[in-house]
Amino acid sequence: MADKILIADDNAEIREVLHVLLESEGYEVEEAKDGNEAVEKTDENTDLIILDVMMPGMNGFRACSEIRKKTVAPVLFLTAKGEEADKTSGFNLGGDDYVVKPFKTGDILARIKALLRRYKVYQSAAPISADEGQVIKIGDLAIYKDKNVVKVEDKEVPLTDIEYKILLLLATDKNKIFTAENIYEDVWNEEYMYTLSNTVTVHIRKLRAKIEKDPQNPRYIKTVWGRGYRIGS
């Protein structure tokens, strides 16, 4: 079954270019002309959403926030703006990647394939036995590295790609304190700027809300004041 990609852009020419490109690669493609339609058309069968930021009515950022209530499928922002503030807003609202117009078809295809590859590994994870794959266990938290699956008290916790990568980074070195710069450059694979520290903070807060019984008094993701974060034991 082909992966299903939703393209949301108010520019019909952009939608057509992407539609033809993605269909030629074997993807099932659906279109939305604005943010409201993008939210409506996103369902459990949607594997990736391409969101233009500047759309009439509900813009891409607001649409992403609503989509995150329905799915952890990757969101790729598409916009003519390249300012750091736009990138930060997109990541804070749950976006996974960001492409600036005009884009090269090879570049956007590579990003789409990478996002889908990670997501499909996550989605196809089968029930896991205690001895299957490489498992990192911290109290009642278990990270199944071979499956990209996280469980708390033996219940699977749905994480976005970025949330999973942050947790895995922290858990792979229990003795290390990771600064916001360490986390951003490793997870987003981009050069860190001071203005991006809030991006890391927002994702840590969302991650805690999913894996901690008491996010205000976290057991797993500890804050080391003035330095960064480390995994709890």
pLDDT at 97: 86
CA distance 203 to 48: 20
pLDDT at 85: 67
Do 207 and 166 form a contact (C-beta atoms < 8 A)?
yes
CATH fold for the domain made of 4-123: Rossmann fold (3.40.50)
pLDDT at 122: 58
pLDDT at 7: 97
pLDDT at 82: 61
pLDDT of the chain, 233 residues: tens digit per residue: 789 999 999 999 999 999 999 999 999 999 999 999 999 999 989 999 999 988 988 999 999 999 988 988 999 998 876 666 667 777 777 888 888 888 889 989 998 998 888 777 655 544 444 444 588 888 899 998 877 789 999 898 988 888 999 999 999 888 799 999 999 999 888 888 877 778 898 899 999 999 999 989 999 999 999 899 999 86
The model carries a pTM of 0.68
Task: Name which CATH class applies to 158-231.
Answer: mainly alpha
Question: What are the backbone dihedrals phi and psi of residue 218, each rounded to the nearest 5 degrees, phi first?
Answer: -65, 140
Q: Is 13 exposed, middle or buried (0-12, 13-18, 19+ CB in 10 A)?
A: exposed
User: Which of 8, 152, 148, 150 lies closest to 67, judged by CA?
Assistant: 8
CA distance 221 to 182: 15
Name the residue ranges covered by the structural domains of the chain.
4-123, 158-231
